[in-house]
Structure formats: C-alpha cells, structure tokens
Chains A and B, each alone.
Chain A
Amino acid sequence: MKMELNKEYVLALVAIVLGLIAGSFLMLLTGNNPFQGYYFLIRGGLMSIERVGNTLATATPLIFTGLAVAFAFRTGLFNIGAAGQMLAGGLCATAIGLTFAWPKAILLPTAVLGALLAGALWGFVPGYLKSRFNVHEVVSSIMMNWIAYWTVYYVVPGYFKGPYLETESRKISEAASLKVAWLTKMFNGSYINLGFFLAVVAVIIITFILNKTTLGYELKAVGFNRHAAEYAGIRSNRNIIVSMMISGALAGLGGAAFYIGYASNIQIGVMPSQGFDGIAVSLLGANSPWGVFFAAVFFGLLHSGKGFMNAMTNIPPEIADSIIATIIYFAATSILIERSWDRLKKYLRGAK
C-alpha cells in the first residue's frame, strides 16, 4: 500500500514537471525567457507577506473544489459540477449577505451555511438521478452547471444588481464578508480571509470521515466495487447520494470562500474556473485531502503570481491556466509515464 501511494506522488510530480516544461515551451514560442518567466511567477506569489496571503486566498476555493472532486472520486463518482455548485453556494451566500442586516456573528455563519446547503442541493440532484435512475453523474452535473450559470445570470440583475452595473451584484457589507480586519492587517492588506481556516478545517474533517468513520468506510467500499459493497450489506444508492451531497457542500463552501471572501460580489456570465481546476487539484493530490491541500496551494501560487509576471515580462497571464490544463492532461495520461518508468527500471536492471 505504501509503495503505491509513493508511486502516485511520483506520477503527480512528473505531471507537474511536464506541465512546467510545456509552459516553458509556450514562453519560448512567443520569444520569452522561461527562467525569467518562472522567476517572476514565483516571486509574484511569494515575495511579500501580502502576496503570500493572496496566494493562500487564491488557493482557498481550490482547496474546497479539489476536496469536492476528490471526495466524490473516492465513492467512484466524477463530480464535474463543482463550478455549478460553487455558483449556487456563492449566489446563496451573496443573497443572504445582501438581504439581512444582522450583526456579523450571526450573518456570516448563516451565509456560509446557506452556501453549504445550496451546494449540497446542487450535488443532490446528480446523486439522486444516479442512484434512482442510473443517469450518469458527469452529464447531469454538466447540466446542473449551466442551470446554475443561467440562474445567476437572471437572478443577480433581477434582485441584487448594483446602482451602475447590470452585470454584477451590489457589494456585500463588511458584516457578511469572510474578510476580517485583524487578518487583513496581519497580511498587509491581502485578500486572505477566514475561508482559508475553514478550508483547513474541512481538510481535517474530510480526512477524519474517510479514514475513521463507518460512513467513510462505506463510501470507499462503494467506490472500489459497488456490487461487492452491496453484497456486504452496504446500501450503495444511499451512499451515492450522500457522497454527492457532501461533495456539493464542499464546492458550495468554495463558492462562499470565493464570492464573499476573496471577492465581495458575484458577477454574471462567468463560469468559475476553480470548478474545473478542482479536477486538476484532486488528480494531483492523488485524491487524498492533504494532497489536495498542497496541490491547491501550488495552483494558488501559479494564479496569484501570474499578474506580477505579466507586469515584469511580456508573458500573458494565461500561461498559468495553460500550465494547469497541461498538468491535467499529463495526469490523465499518466499511464504513459508509468509505462516509461517501468521500461526505464527494466532497462536499468538489465544494464546491471
């Protein structure tokens, strides 16, 4: 077991390295120096306490969506709907934040809880359709993504629009925001917010559920072999729904972390990229909660450093997205790496 785990991390590292190499080819192709590019990318993410804070703040929604995808994976489900669950959560949290004028101690937890429930609801639908009608969760969660997208598109201008712009909601008050003064001050005015601590707590809770509870055991059993699990008396249908709901709730919290934490309003016409980046995060983190945590921080670094890199060089900021996308592709085709690895080992053994 330990050997296999190591192999997974090796594969993840190789995927990252290949992704970075692909990124440097892109930089070379457009006449830029990759070493300089990466230097500024990393400096942009880490050079001051404020930027470290921004890196963590950018990573926060990714931790949630990565956890969401990884958790569903463990039950053998592919939750590609994290983007929609994030939107549902973000819309719900924003709506609560803009509607009620309660003190922060009540309003903020309510908004976060609202995001959690909205995400869980968005995850429930594919889970229910899968368990009851055997509808493939990938297709139904893609549909749920676009239902969320168009819901935000019409609900925000209809009920929560600002005084000038039709395309985004009003800004939420300080009382509804996950940003808190002491934290912002500690990190010199960075975007970091309570969402990050929420994410760490989520990582710990999910680790606990997966490794120490009956529920986690059952979920994993269904993931390994649904029929065998059923034979052992585990109700796989119920577990599929529960798994998708927890996964959706995590992505919904990611929505809260993004829309009422990192940002202070919700825009229409944007499918949050964090939903799909979550798939990459989960793959890289080998579907384990702490693996997800570190993968998300790494991607957070790429995303938060790209602006600085763009300012110092001619490299467009989309390089970060290109690298992440390439990493997913290499992670998906990791069997190629595995095969070459085995061949290399055989070759080395032969050389001896």
Chain B
Amino acid sequence: MWEIIVQVFPYAIAFTVPLLITALGGLFSERSGVVNIGLEGLMVVGLFSSAITIVNLEKFMPGTAVWIGLLAAAVAGALFSLLHAFACINLHANQVISGTAINMIAGAITVYLARNITGSGNIHIVHGLVRRTVPVLSDIPVLGKLFFTQTYATTWLVLAILVLSWFVLYKTAFGLRLRACGEHPQAADSAGVNVYRIRYIAVMISGAFSGLGGAIILVTYSGEFNGTVAGLGFLAIAALIFGQWKPWGVLGATFFFGFASTIANVSQAVPLFANIPGILLKTFPYVITLIVLVMFSKSSQAPKAAGEPYDKGKR
C-alpha cells in the first residue's frame, strides 16, 4: 500500500500543479467579479507559445530554453486574456459567451499556426524539465519520500505563487480592493477604487497563470503541443468551486482531483485500484462539484458580483 502511494505520488503532484496554478488564476479573475470560463483556451495559448519558444531555442540553450518558454507562456496568456477583459469590462459582454469564444479561438488559431509551422499541427520538444530530489529535505522520514524526491522545479514555483497569492489577496490593500470589486463594485468605486483597472489586472493575472499552467503540462509530463489540454481548464473551474474561491481550498481541491485522476490513469497497472472502475474516478471531480454546489447553495462563498458587468451609472 505504502509502496503504491509512494509510486503514484509524483504523478499525482505533476498532474495537480498545472491544475492548481490555473485554478488560482481563475480565483483572481472571479474574486474581482469577472467569470472566466476561458481558462481552458488560455492554457492552450500558454501550451502553444511555450512549445514554439522552446523548440526554437533549445538547440542553443537546452536548459534555459524551458524557463524562457514558461515566461513566454505567461506573457502570451496575459495578452490573450485582454480579449476577454476588453469584452467583459469595457463592453459589458456576456462573460460566458466571451469565455467560450476565447476557448474556441485559442483552440483553432493555435492549431492553425502550428500546422503552418510543422505541417502536422503537433509540436514536440526534446528537453523538458528533469525531476530532481531536494537534498537534505528528502531524508525526512515519510514526508521526504512523498514531497521531496523526484520533484519538478515548477512545483516549487507554483507553491511559491500560491503563498504569494494568498498574501496578496488577504494581506495587501490591492487584495482587499480586488475582493471588494467582486463583492460590491459600486461600494468599491465610491471608496475610490478604480474597478475597471483592478478587473483588468485580475483577468490578466488569470491569463498569465493559465498560460503558465499550460506550459507546465508541456515541460513536465506531456512534451508535446497537440492543440488541447483535454478539459483541464474546466477541471480547474470545478476545483475553484469545490475550493469555494479560497486559495487553500483550491489547493486541497486540485490535489484531490489530481490524485483521483492519477489513480484512474494507473488503475489498470496497480492491483489495489483495479477494482475501482475508472469511470467513477474520472467523473468523480465533476459529480462532487455538483454536490458541493447543491450543498453550498444556501451559503455559497461565490463572489457576489461575479458575472455582473460593472456599470458606473447603476446603483
């Protein structure tokens, strides 16, 4: 049993990390009052731009190329999310329709461009990140084996971003303003907060984080761009709800989902899990999200103004 958990753990973490960073991005956007169901598309944009960057650079500098790729993905995600921000914030567009458009544009245009470049529409990278064991810490009994052996550097990066996000959201003036924009933008405005600016920043953060999430998939476990992230962006939305729009809740939810998905993927090979039907494990995150939504329907922590365009003239 222990052996199996130790075996599965690195994969579960690898799967959790992109989900976590994307859901965190969604958290910023939704807490500021903009629903972003375009996370999936923003991940694809990140995946694509990191793949292009890495493929072109890895001949000259195999090690650094990966990190430049990650940076490129975050920038591309942030820029692409401007489309969503402009539609939702300035034009008061339906945020769900705009998000859907983002998903479709991202999926179509990246494959279109990739086909022009490679012909097949797939882009493979040669050098991804290497799993490393953290010295000293990996010698801690139990925890060392689980958390500090065979880890990717991106895992630590994302955890650092998580802590930083929590700090920014709950301990800084900016965070307070951002949350106020998501709960009661009129009140925030009358207190002198520039609602439009805050929301723009929040949506761009969600774009940058999702882009990073897409790129992390590339440099850790997938190694190729093929035009899709197979619903991980939607899974991140589910995790955001399950985590009740809170950073630590999101961490718990994404880990839960990551672990369930990993077990579903390896259940054929591991006798212990072979008895659990894969269909239950794979549908589990979505079913549980529905149940959570029902359970919290009376006391939901959802930002009150999420999905509402902010209209200065409205009281």
Interface residues of B in 103-125 (CB under 8 A from A): 103-105, 107-109, 111-113, 115-116, 121
Contact A325 B96 (CB under 8 A): no
- Enumerate chain B residues within 8 angstroms of A319, measured Cβ to Cβ: 112
A residues with CB within 8 A of B: 26, 30, 78, 80, 125, 129, 133-136, 138-140, 142-147, 149-151, 153-155, 269, 271, 276, 279-280, 283, 314, 316, 318-319, 321-322, 324-326, 328-329, 331-333, 335-336
Q: Which of B75-126 touch A at CB < 8 Å?
A: 83, 86-87, 91-94, 96-98, 100-105, 107-109, 111-113, 115-116, 121
Determine if B237 is an interface residue (Cβ-Cβ < 8 Å): yes
**Interface hit among B48-56, B155-163, B290-298:** B290-298
Query: Could you tell me if A26 and B112 are in contact, using CB atoms closer than 8 angstroms?
Result: yes
Of the residues A276, A280, A328, A335, contact of B91 by C-beta under 8 Å: A335
- Per the bound structure, the CA–CA distance linking A211 and B116 in Å amounts to 48
Known: A319-B112, A335-B92. A134 touches B297 (CB 8 A): yes
Given known contacts A318-B112, A329-B98, A335-B93, A146 and B107 CB-to-CB distance under 8 angstroms: no
CA distance A136 to B278 in the complex (A): 28
Which residues on the A side are within 8 Å of B255 (C-beta)?
none
Contacts of B109 in A (CB 8 A): 26, 318, 322, 325
B282 touches A154 (CB 8 A): yes
Residues of B within 8 A of A125 (CB): 290
Contact check: which of A153, A269, A326, A335 meets B105 at CB < 8 Å? A326
The residue in chain A whose Cβ has the minimal distance to the Cβ of B110 is A318
Q: How far is the CA of A193 from the CA of B293 in the complex (A)?
A: 41
Q: How far is the CB of A203 from chain B (nearest CB, A)?
A: 22
Residue of A30, A147, A271, A318 with most chain B CB atoms under a 10 A cut-off:
A318
Contacts of B297 in A (CB 8 A): 133-135
Q: Is B251 an interface residue (CB 8 A)?
A: no
| Inter-subunit contact B87/A333 (CB<8 Å) | yes
B243 CB, min distance to chain A CBs, angstroms: 14
A329: which B residues are within 8 A, CB to CB? 83, 87, 98, 101-102, 105
Contact between A154 and B290, CB atoms less than 8 A apart: no
Say yes or no: is B283 at the interface (Cβ < 8 Å to chain A).
yes
Residues of B within 8 A of A271 (CB): 231
Question: Which listed residue (A133, A138, A146) contacts B37, Cβ 8 A?
Answer: A138
B241 interface residue per 8 A CB criterion: yes
Q: Is the CB of B277 within 8 A of A154?
A: yes
B98 contacts across to A, CB distance below 8 A = 329, 332-333
Chain B residues in 8 Å Cβ range of A142: 37, 234, 237-238
